Amino acid sequence: KAGCVMKGSSEVTGVVRFEQEEDGPVTVTGQITGLTDGKHGFHIHTYGDNTNGCVSAGPHFNPQGKTHGGPDDEVRHVGDLGNITSAAGVADINIKDKLICLTGEHSIVGRTAVVHEKEDDLGKGGDNES
């Protein structure tokens, strides 16, 4: 199990929990508040340093050097968790992901979880910032 307290320079805050049994998929649950309504990209970034936002957090966690994609794509960054959707300023998170893990060489523990201001194009729109 692992947890992440989300707090940035805006009013956006939340708590996200990660749980994995053995080598099974990771269940990601939580709630983020203060978001504008709509879809927001949700990723694990490479570094556990959020002192300067996404700049210091680095790119999406991508230990295998794959291209950006959506959570259901065969080819994607490990950190590509897709979008979360906010309604009335609140996004409830309930994701099950088979690529992220909480142990081993490619663990996400100690990295930065980021909720982006905009929707993730899931690698389909040519936006490197999504």
In the predicted model, what is the mean pLDDT of residues 32-61?
94
In the predicted model, what is the mean pLDDT of residues 22-39?
96
Query: Is residue 130 a part of any domain in this protein?
Result: no
- Domain around 73: 2-115
**pLDDT at position 129:** 56
Query: Is residue 121 a part of any domain in this protein?
Result: no
Helix or strand holding residue 45 (H, E): strand 38-45
Number of domains into which the chain is organized: 1
Q: In the structure, what pLDDT confidence band is assigned to residue 128 with cuts at 50, 70 and 90? A: low
In the predicted model, what is the mean pLDDT of residues 57-70?
95
Task: Write the CATH number for 16.
Answer: 2.60.40.200
Integer Cα distance of 38 and 45 in angstroms: 22
**pLDDT at position 100:** 96
The 38-45 sheet, strands edge to edge: 80-86, 38-45, 112-115
Query: Is residue 122 a part of any domain in this protein?
Result: no
Task: Write the DSSP string, 67-90.
Answer: PP--TT-SS--TTEEEEEEEBTTE
Q: In the structure, what pLDDT confidence band is assigned to residue 112 with cuts at 50, 70 and 90? A: very high
Q: Which of 45-49, 50-54, 91-95 has the lowest mean pLDDT?
A: 50-54
How many CB atoms lie under 10 A from the CB of residue 81?
28
Query: Is residue 19 a part of any domain in this protein?
Result: yes
Read off the pTM: 0.92
- Look at residue 126 and tell me whether its pLDDT is greater than 70: no
Query: Is residue 61 a part of any domain in this protein?
Result: yes
In the predicted model, what is the mean pLDDT of residues 5-26?
92
